[in-house]
C-alpha cells in the first residue's frame, strides 16, 4: 500500500511517525511538504526565539501514550517541565522524532520536499502532482495541510495591497531575504488587525526589535487571549449539571452551567481544561443551527479562554498597555488606502454608528487561523474543491468528512482513500487543532490505514489461493 501524507507540519509528522513505527514491510509512506518548514510546519518552523508555546512542556509529547516525551527529550527538571518554551525548540523535537522513526521503520519512508499542487483520481488510485512538474501514484492520501492561508482583508485598497506599508503575513520574507516585519522602523505607527495569538507574537517581535512607536491592535470584539498561571492549576471534575448538558448536547444549558460555576471554582482555567475530553463528542451532537449560533455569539469568547498565552508574554503585553505603547480596540476596519505620506484608515469602533479617519505608517494582518475551504486561496485545497473530491463545510469549518476522517464528495458519499487530519476536520470535531487532540487522532487514523492494508493483503492472498486451486 502506498500512503501519501500531504503536509509536513505537526499533523503530518505525527501521522507519519505513527505509521513508520507500526507499518510492516510493503507499505510505502510518502511525506510531502515544502522544504522551508519540512518536519516542523509553519507554527514551529517560522517562529522566532521570542515566540513561546502556549502549552506547558510536560504536556506536549507528540505521542498519545507518552505526553511527557517532549520534556524527556530535553531532559528537563521537574520545575522546567511546567514552563512555556520557545516554539523553535518544539520544531526541532518534531523533526528529530520524525528522523528517528524514518531510520527505524520497516516500511519504505520517503520525504518529498515539494509542494503538492493537485490530486486527481486515476482509476482506483490517486495521482499526486508536485510543484516541480513531476507526479506519482498513491493508494491512500491524507490531507494534513494545517490552517489555510488567511482571507484577504476587506477594505484594503489596491495600491496599499502591494505597498511595503501593508504586511499581509508577518513572517514572510521579502526579495532581499529579510522579514517584512524587520523593515518596520522603530518609531512607526503600527495598526495590527487581529487581537489573538498571532498578534501577541507580532507585538513580542516588535518589542524585541526595540520598537518605540504606538501599536494599535483591532478586532471585532477587542478580546485578548487570557493568560496561563505560572503554576498549573489543580484539576477538577465536572459536576452533574455540566455533564448533563454535555450528554444532551444542550448548548444553552451548558453555557448557563459554566457561568454558574465560574465564581465557585478556584480557577476557571481548570473548568475549561476539564471540558476538553468531552468537546468532540459534544460538538458531533450539535445540530447545524446550534453550531452556527455558537460561531456567531460565543466563538470569540471561547477562543480567548481556550487558547491562552504564556505568562511571560501576558506580562509583557500588560506592561506595554500600562505604558500606553499598546492599545487594544474593538471595531471594524472599513477601509485602508495608501496616501502620499501614510496609510489612511477608516475604523468604526464597536458601539459607534460613525467611523473615524486615522493615519498609521504600517498595517499588519494578524488574523491567524482560517479553515474556510469555499473562499481559500490554497492551491491544492481549491483544486480538490473544484474537482468535487472534497466538499466545503457550509460554516467555513474545513471539509465534510466521515467518522473515519474520509472526505465526502458533493453527494455526501465517502471518497474512498482520501482522508484529512487536523484543522480541516473542525466541522466534525471542533477541537482538533491542539497537540493533545491531534496526537490521538493521528494514532487512530494510522491504525485504520494499517488495518485496511492488512485486509487488502489478505484479499490478495485469498485470490492467489483461489487461482492456484485445480
Residue 280 has pLDDT above 80, yes or no: yes
Query: Do 46 and 37 form a contact (C-beta atoms < 8 A)?
Result: yes
Pick the CATH number of 2-149+371-461 from 3.20.20.80, 3.40.190.10, 3.50.50.60, 3.40.1160.10: 3.50.50.60
Per-residue pLDDT at 44: 92
CATH 3.50.50.60 maps onto the chain at 2-149+371-461, 158-227+308-365
Query: Do 419 and 426 form a contact (C-beta atoms < 8 A)?
Result: no
Residue 158 has pLDDT above 80, yes or no: yes
Please choose, from the candidates 285, 302, 291, 294, the residue with its C-alpha nearest in 3D space to the C-alpha of residue 247: 285
Fold (CATH) for 158-227+308-365? FAD/NAD(P)-binding domain (3.50.50)
* Choice among 91-100, 124-133, 335-344, 457-466 with the minimum mean pLDDT: 457-466
Distance between CA atoms of residues 107 and 187, nearest Å: 55
Residue 456 has pLDDT above 90, yes or no: no
Question: What residues does 190 pair with on adjacent strands?
Answer: 215, 362
- Range 331-347 average pLDDT: 96
Per-residue pLDDT at 463: 55
Q: Which residues, at least 6 apart from 84, have a Cβ–Cβ distance to it below 8 Å?
A: 52, 53, 54, 55, 56, 57, 228, 310, 311, 312
Average pLDDT, the chain: 93
- Range 304-326 average pLDDT: 97
CA dihedral sign, ordered 32, 34, 37, 38: positive
**Could you read off the pLDDT of 355-396 as tens digits, one per residue?**
999 999 999 999 978 999 999 999 999 999 999 999 999 999
Full-model pTM: 0.93
Query: Do 371 and 147 form a contact (C-beta atoms < 8 A)?
Result: yes
Q: How confident is the model at residue 461 (pLDDT cuts 50, 70, 90)?
A: very low
Q: DSSP string covering 285-323, please? A: TS-HHHHHHHHHHTHHHHHHHHSPBPHHHHHHHHHHHHT
Residue 281 has pLDDT above 80, yes or no: yes
What's the residue count for the chain? 470
* Choice among 218-227, 239-248, 303-312, 455-464 with the minimum mean pLDDT: 455-464
**Could you read off the pLDDT of 399-431 as tens digits, one per residue?**
999 999 999 998 999 999 999 999 999 999 999
Q: How confident is the model at residue 222 (pLDDT cuts 50, 70, 90)?
A: very high
Query: Do 3 and 28 form a contact (C-beta atoms < 8 A)?
Result: yes
DSSP symbol at 145: -
Per-residue pLDDT at 175: 60
**Could you read off the pLDDT of 43-55 as tens digits, one per residue?**
898 899 999 999 9
Per-residue pLDDT at 313: 97
Please choose, from the candidates 461, 407, 417, 442, the residue with its C-alpha nearest in 3D space to the C-alpha of residue 1: 417
- Range 86-99 average pLDDT: 95
Amino acid at each position: 500500500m502506498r500512503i501519501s501524507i500531504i503536509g509536513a507540519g505537526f499533523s503530518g509528522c505525527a501521522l507519519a511517525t505513527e505509521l513508520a513505527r507500526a507499518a510492516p514491510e510493503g507499505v510505502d509512506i510518502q511525506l510531502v511538504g515544502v522544504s522551508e518548514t519540512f518536519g516542523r510546519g509553519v507554527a514551529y518552523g517560522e517562529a522566532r526565539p521570542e515566540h513561546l508555546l502556549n502549552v506547558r512542556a510536560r504536556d506536549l509529547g507528540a505521542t498519545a501514550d507518552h505526553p511527557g516525551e517532549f520534556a524527556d527529550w530535553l531532559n528537563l527538571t521537574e520545575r522546567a517541565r511546567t514552563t512555556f518554551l520557545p516554539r523553535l525548540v518544539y520544531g526541532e523535537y518534531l523533526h528529530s522524532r520524525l528522523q528517528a522513526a524514518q531510520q527505524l521503520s520497516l516500511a519504505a519512508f520517503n520525504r518529498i520536499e515539494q509542494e503538492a499542487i493537485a490530486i486527481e483520481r486515476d482509476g482506483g488510485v490517486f495521482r499526486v502532482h508536485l510543484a516541480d512538474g513531476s507526479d506519482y501514484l498513491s493508494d491512500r492520501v491524507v490531507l494534513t495541510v494545517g490552517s489555510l492561508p488567511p482571507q484577504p482583508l476587506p477594505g484594503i485598497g489596491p495600491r496599499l495591497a502591494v505597498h511595503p506599508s501593508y504586511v499581509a503575513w508577518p513572517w514572510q520574507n521579502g526579495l532581499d531575504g529579510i522579514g517584512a516585519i524587520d523593515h518596520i522602523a522603530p518609531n512607526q505607527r503600527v495598526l495590527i488587525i487581529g487581537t489573538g495569538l498571532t498578534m501577541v507574537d507580532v507585538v513580542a517581535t516588535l518589542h524585541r526589535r526595540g520598537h518605540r512607536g504606538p501599536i494599535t491592535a483591532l478586532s471585532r470584539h477587542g478580546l485578548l487571549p487570557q493568560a496561563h498561571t505560572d503554576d498549573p492549576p489543580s484539576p477538577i471534575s465536572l459536576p452533574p449539571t455540566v455533564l448533563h448538558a454535555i450528554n444532551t448536547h444542550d448548548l444553552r444549558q451548558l453555557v448557563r452551567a459554566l457561568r454558574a460555576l465560574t465564581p465557585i471554582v478556584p480557577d476557571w482555567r481548570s473548568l475549561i481544561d476539564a471540558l476538553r475530553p468531552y468537546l468532540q463528542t459534544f460538538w458531533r451532537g450539535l445540530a447545524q443551527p446550534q453550531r452556527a449560533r455558537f460561531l456567531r455569539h460565543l466563538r470569540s469568547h471561547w477562543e480567548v479562554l481556550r487558547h491562552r498565552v504564556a505568562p511571560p508574554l501576558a506580562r509583557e503585553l500588560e506592561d506595554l498597555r500600562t505604558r500606553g505603547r499598546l492599545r487594544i480596540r474593538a471595531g471594524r476596519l472599513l477601509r485602508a488606502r495608501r496616501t502620499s505620506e501614510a496609510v489612511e484608515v477608516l475604523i468604526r469602533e464597536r458601539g459607534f454608528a460613525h467611523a473615524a479617519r486615522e493615519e498609521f505608517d504600517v498595517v499588519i494582518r494578524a488574523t491567524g487561523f482560517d479553515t474556510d475551504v469555499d473562499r481559500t486561496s490554497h492551491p491544492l485545497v481549491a483544486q480538490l474543491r473544484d474537482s468535487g473530491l472534497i466538499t466545503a463545510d457550509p460554516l467555513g469549518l474545513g471539509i465534510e468528512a466521515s467518522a473515519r476522517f474520509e472526505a465526502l464528495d458533493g453527494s455526501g458519499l465517502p471518497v474512498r482513500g482520501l482522508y484529512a487530519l487536523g484543522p480541516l476536520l473542525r466541522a466534525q470535531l471542533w477541537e482538533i487543532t491542539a497537540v493533545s487532540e491531534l496526537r490521538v487522532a493521528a494514532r487512530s487514523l494510522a491504525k485504520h490505514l494499517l488495518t485496511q492494508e492488512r485486509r487488502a493483503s489478505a484479499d490478495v492472498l485469498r485470490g492467489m489461493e483461489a487461482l492456484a486451486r485445480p
